């Protein structure tokens, strides 16, 4: 986490409104601006807040410094922080700087590889109208960042100042523009040679060999490239300051070329003040021309004869960018020439319109002059003509400024990295590869999806939203953002199932059907569920994750097989009895369930295995036919007895197709496939657990409806706020310990929230359990019994 102030070099350019408009500008991107927060203003609308802040700043007429404080807070690549935490961090930082009561507008940006937010702060206090400038704010910001990193578990950055202001600016230029700076080039190429010089002459020789010059400037020394760029010598290394060099090498000695140039300049100044005597024309040159050839030859000899010189070349990259950089230079030159031409045309249009307006005004004045009438009337007409002319001139000037700005925006000069990003957005794959080959591009981290197959161009996927300076392509799928760095994919924000499925489809088209998933266990579980829900033809490289996918896929495959069997079974025969004709006792469940299980075991049939071998799950409903009881298109199997129906004779595998199984002992067993589908269980369970009533008679449907309504509400909110956990209905397979997360009231029904892992389970409870849960603290571990009651620590009824 890094917090940094962006100072305004010119006070005249400081504009709170312009800053807020920049940080809230979408820039034709969906994935740029997150939330916008207005603090200590009378409104939550940032547009109205601008006017309020400007009025507050106008109350202070004595302050001449910048009245706006621009702060940027940036986080490590891959860190995703919820809005509530970002707002808390913003408040802590502003309080630490002394701006807790000041007006401010903040906005979160997601269009770069690092999550960050901008804060525009009004330095003028809203009630006292005094200006506040924090002293040594960079130290205060470093201390605040260290403390916040520990409290919120953020990745740690180095907040100790180890570089000068010049070094920081040079590093920022190289990182954002992608072009090497003069200071960085000197440090990388010849700093060791310069520091190793043992005399002034040797030092100047080293400078010349690298295309540099060492000159005096004020009370110090500067190193220039001969083309107007220069850096302080002490910025390259502290031992190159003037005081350190004079202490080691003696008094400063300029180069002979500089000394000769200084002597020539001094002599010229003397000649301007006193004219020398002029002799006869002869072989001896006049005094002002004596030694000129010698000086010229000396200057020529001292010219920089360098084997290498500093040039604003791209930073070190993993690919060769010579041809691409030549294209960039040509493009910038042509853009500059086109911009100049367009500006000239716009200026010509402006002048012609002004001349036309003035000519029209002159004709009106001439017409007024020849009109016969009183003087006051003519004076009014002259005044109206002048006002019309001024309005026309103002309109033409305004139109010209708008055209000039539009031309500038269209043909503006771009830095190397910005040009690469613009070309990559247009579809230039070479420019995209150059962005990804920069040293600054480290790739995506965290919860990612990757593959080992050769990359292919994706087809039929959402249109890209933007491209970062590190070559990361951002796709937008509903509320979800998918990032692609060429090697890995990452769902960065709003990780709902649609977004995960979009990322998996992109991975399949790019890497093939064998996918590698990296990240937390919760993320891997979400990926597996998304793959199964979308029925994607995919295989995970992680063996454990692949086994989990197969487990989730098994019930779906079993249900599809059952549906296929239902469609292909033989037609009904005459005489088949319907469910309504069967005796009610035949369709009921036997009371001796334990005896039935014993009889089934005696016959060598495993009830659980037999149930799993069956087809789809079926939930019996009163008044509807049950399997094995005379469905239309099914042969007459008669009543339930010792002899199986004709279609099930001599085969054990057909047992699972019956609603109940008749055992030799006369008992009946409910098969697992007849358990209601929402229970989400695959094996046979005790009948008292399957048919428990945790609400009391008549309230089952009401409790389930209330739970479903609350779950639907939270899931809809989760699509907008990604930090809300997933809510599901509590079922039989979730028995055991869980963390109590609170109770809710929906339509008169009490719902208990139980959190296990990253999921919140919603369980309708009766009044007794509700009263007991009111005494339970949030976060305390509770246990749900098979009968639906909730036990806490200590005694429970």
> Residue 274: which residues within 8 A CB-CB, separation 6 or more?
none
How buried is residue 572: exposed, middle or buried, by Cβ count under 10 Å (0-12/13-18/19+)?
Answer: middle
What backbone torsions phi and psi does residue 274 show, to the nearest 5 degrees? -145, 120
Beta bridge partners, 343, equal: none
DSSP letter string, 39-73: ESSS-S-HHHHHHHHHHHHHT--S--S--EEEEEE
Q: Do residues 232 and 221 lie in contact, with contact meaning Cβ atoms separated by under 8 Å?
A: yes
Could you give the angle at the alpha carbon of 731 between the alpha carbons of 779 and 764, nearest 5°?
65
* The two three-digit tokens of residue 199, written as one number: 């005399």
> What's 538's DSSP letter?
-
Calpha distance 735→752 (Å, rounded)? 14
* The two three-digit tokens of residue 468, written as one number: 């970062």
What backbone torsions phi and psi does residue 477 show, to the nearest 5 degrees? -125, 95
> What's 454's DSSP letter?
P
Cβ neighbours, 10 Å, residue 640: 22
Output the pTM of the full model.
0.59
**H or E segment at 486?**
none
Q: What is the mean pLDDT of each run of 10 residues along the chain (797 residues)?
A: 86 85 87 91 93 95 92 89 92 95 95 91 95 92 93 87 75 82 88 89 89 88 87 89 90 73 63 54 50 42 57 84 90 92 95 95 91 84 94 95 93 89 88 82 76 56 76 78 82 74 82 84 86 87 88 76 66 48 43 40 37 41 44 48 56 49 49 50 46 44 80 79 78 75 86 85 86 82 78 58
Calpha distance 166→174 (Å, rounded)? 12
Q: Do residues 525 and 533 lie in contact, with contact meaning Cβ atoms separated by under 8 Å?
A: no
Which is nearest to 443 in space by CA: 479, 484, 414? 484
How buried is residue 348: exposed, middle or buried, by Cβ count under 10 Å (0-12/13-18/19+)?
Answer: exposed
* The two three-digit tokens of residue 708, written as one number: 């479903």
* The two three-digit tokens of residue 743, written as one number: 């109770």
Q: Do residues 436 and 424 lie in contact, with contact meaning Cβ atoms separated by under 8 Å?
A: no
**H or E segment at 700?**
helix 700-718
DSSP letter string, 164-219: -HHHHHHHHHHHHH-B--HHHHHHHHTHHHHHT--SHHHHHHHHHHTT-EEEEETT
Calpha distance 149→137 (Å, rounded)? 18
Pairing state between β 726-729 and 759-765: parallel
DSSP letter string, 273-339: HSPPP---SSSSPPGGGTTHHHHHHHHHHTS---S-----PBPPBSS--HHHHHHHHHHHHHHHHHH
How buried is residue 537: exposed, middle or buried, by Cβ count under 10 Å (0-12/13-18/19+)?
Answer: exposed
Q: How many CA atoms lie within 13 A of 644 on its CB side?
A: 18
Calpha distance 293→778 (Å, rounded)? 94
Which is nearest to 469 in space by CA: 189, 77, 767, 48? 77
**H or E segment at 739?**
strand 736-746
> Residue 63: which residues within 8 A CB-CB, separation 6 or more?
123, 124, 131
Calpha distance 265→271 (Å, rounded)? 10
End-to-end CA distance of the chain: 51
Q: Which residue has the tokens 């005696």?
A: 602
Length, in residues, of the chain: 797
Give the burial string for 189-228 (b: 16+ CB within 10 Å, else e). Answer: ebeeebeebeebeebbebbbebbbbbeeeeeebbbbbeee
Calculate helix-pair angle for 429-436, 416-425, nearest 10 degrees: 130
Q: Do residues 770 and 748 lie in contact, with contact meaning Cβ atoms separated by under 8 Å?
A: no
User: Which parts of 623-699 are beta strand (E)?
Assistant: 660-662, 668-670
């Amino acid at each position: 986490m890094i917090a940094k102030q962006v100072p305004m070099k010119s006070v005249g350019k400081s504009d709170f409104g312009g800053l807020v408009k920049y940080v809230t500008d979408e820039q034709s991107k969906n994935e740029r601006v997150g939330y916008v927060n207005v603090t200590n203003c009378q409104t939550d609308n940032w547009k109205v807040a601008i006017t309020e802040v400007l009025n507050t700043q106008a109350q202070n007429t004595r302050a001449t410094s910048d009245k706006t404080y621009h702060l940027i807070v940036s986080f490590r690549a891959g860190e995703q922080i919820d809005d509530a935490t970002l707002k808390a961090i913003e408040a802590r930082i502003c309080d630490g700087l002394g701006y807790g009561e000041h007006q401010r507008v903040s906005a979160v940006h997601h269009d770069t590889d690092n999550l960050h937010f901008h804060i525009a702060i009004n330095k003028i206090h809203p009630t006292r109208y005094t200006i506040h400038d924090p002293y040594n704010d960079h130290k205060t910001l470093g201390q605040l960042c260290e403390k916040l990193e520990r409290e919120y578990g953020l990745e740690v950055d180095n907040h100790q100042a180890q570089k000068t202001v010049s070094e920081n600016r040079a590093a920022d230029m190289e990182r954002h523009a992608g072009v090497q700076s003069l200071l960085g080039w000197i440090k990388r190429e010849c700093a060791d040679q310069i520091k190793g010089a043992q005399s002034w002459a040797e030092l100047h020789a080293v400078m010349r060999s690298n295309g540099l010059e060492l000159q005096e400037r004020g009370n110090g020394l500067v190193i220039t490239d001969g083309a107007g760029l220069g850096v302080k010598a002490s910025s390259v290394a502290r031992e190159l300051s003037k005081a350190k060099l004079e202490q080691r090498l003696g008094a400063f000695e300029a180069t002979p070329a500089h000394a000769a140039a200084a002597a020539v300049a001094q002599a010229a100044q003397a000649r301007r003040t006193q004219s020398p005597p002029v002799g006869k024309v002869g072989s001896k040159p006049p005094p002002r021309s004596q030694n000129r050839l010698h000086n010229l030859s000396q200057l020529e000899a001292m010219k920089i004869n360098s084997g290498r010189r500093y040039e604003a070349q791209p930073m070190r990259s993993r690919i060769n960018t010579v041809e691409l950089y030549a294209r960039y230079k040509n493009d910038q030159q042509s853009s500059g020439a086109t911009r100049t031409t367009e500006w000239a045309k716009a200026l010509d249009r402006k002048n012609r319109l002004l001349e036309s307006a003035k000519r029209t005004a002159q004709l009106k004045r001439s017409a007024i002059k020849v009109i016969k009438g009183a003087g006051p009337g003519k004076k009014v007409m002259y005044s109206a003509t002048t006002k019309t002319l001024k309005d026309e001139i103002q309109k033409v000037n305004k139109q010209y400024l708008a055209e000039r700005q539009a031309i500038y925006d269209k043909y503006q000069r771009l830095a190397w990295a910005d040009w690469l990003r613009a070309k990559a957005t247009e579809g230039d794959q070479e420019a995209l590869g150059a962005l990804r080959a920069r040293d600054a591009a480290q790739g995506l981290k965290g919860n990612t999806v990757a593959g080992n197959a050769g990359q292919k161009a994706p087809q039929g996927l959402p249109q890209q939203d933007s491209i970062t300076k590190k070559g990361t392509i951002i796709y937008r799928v509903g509320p979800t953002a998918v990032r692609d760095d060429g090697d890995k994919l990452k769902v960065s924000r709003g990780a709902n199932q649609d977004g995960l499925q979009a990322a998996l489809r992109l991975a399949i088209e790019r890497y093939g059907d064998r996918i590698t998933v990296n990240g937390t266990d919760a993320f891997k579980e979400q990926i597996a569920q998304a793959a199964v829900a979308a029925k994607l033809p995919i295989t995970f490289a992680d063996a454990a994750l692949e086994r989990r996918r197969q487990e989730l896929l098994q019930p779906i495959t079993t249900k599809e097989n059952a549906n296929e069997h239902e469609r292909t079974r033989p037609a009904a025969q005459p005489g088949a009895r319907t469910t309504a004709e069967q005796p009610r006792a035949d369709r009921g469940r036997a009371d001796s369930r334990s005896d039935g299980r014993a009889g089934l075991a005696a016959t060598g049939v495993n009830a659980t295995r037999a149930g799993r071998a069956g087809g789809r799950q079926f939930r019996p409903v009163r008044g509807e036919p049950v399997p094995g009881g005379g469905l239309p298109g099914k042969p007459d199997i008669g009543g339930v007895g010792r002899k199986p129906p004709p279609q099930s004779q001599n085969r054990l595998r057909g047992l699972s197709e019956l609603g109940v199984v008749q055992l030799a002992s006369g008992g009946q067993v409910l098969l697992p496939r007849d358990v209601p589908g929402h229970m989400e269980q695959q094996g046979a369970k005790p009948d008292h657990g399957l048919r428990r009533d945790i609400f009391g008679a008549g309230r089952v449907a009401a409790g389930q409806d209330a739970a479903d309504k609350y779950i639907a509400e939270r899931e809809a909110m989760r699509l907008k706020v990604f930090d809300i956990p997933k809510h599901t209905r509590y079922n039989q397979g979730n028995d055991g310990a869980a963390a109590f997360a609170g109770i809710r009231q929906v339509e008169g029904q009490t719902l208990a929230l139980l959190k296990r892992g990253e999921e919140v389970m919603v369980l309708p409870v009766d009044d007794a359990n509700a009263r007991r849960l009111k005494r339970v603290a949030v976060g305390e571990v509770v246990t749900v019994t098979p009968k639906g009651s909730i036990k806490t620590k200590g005694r429970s009824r």
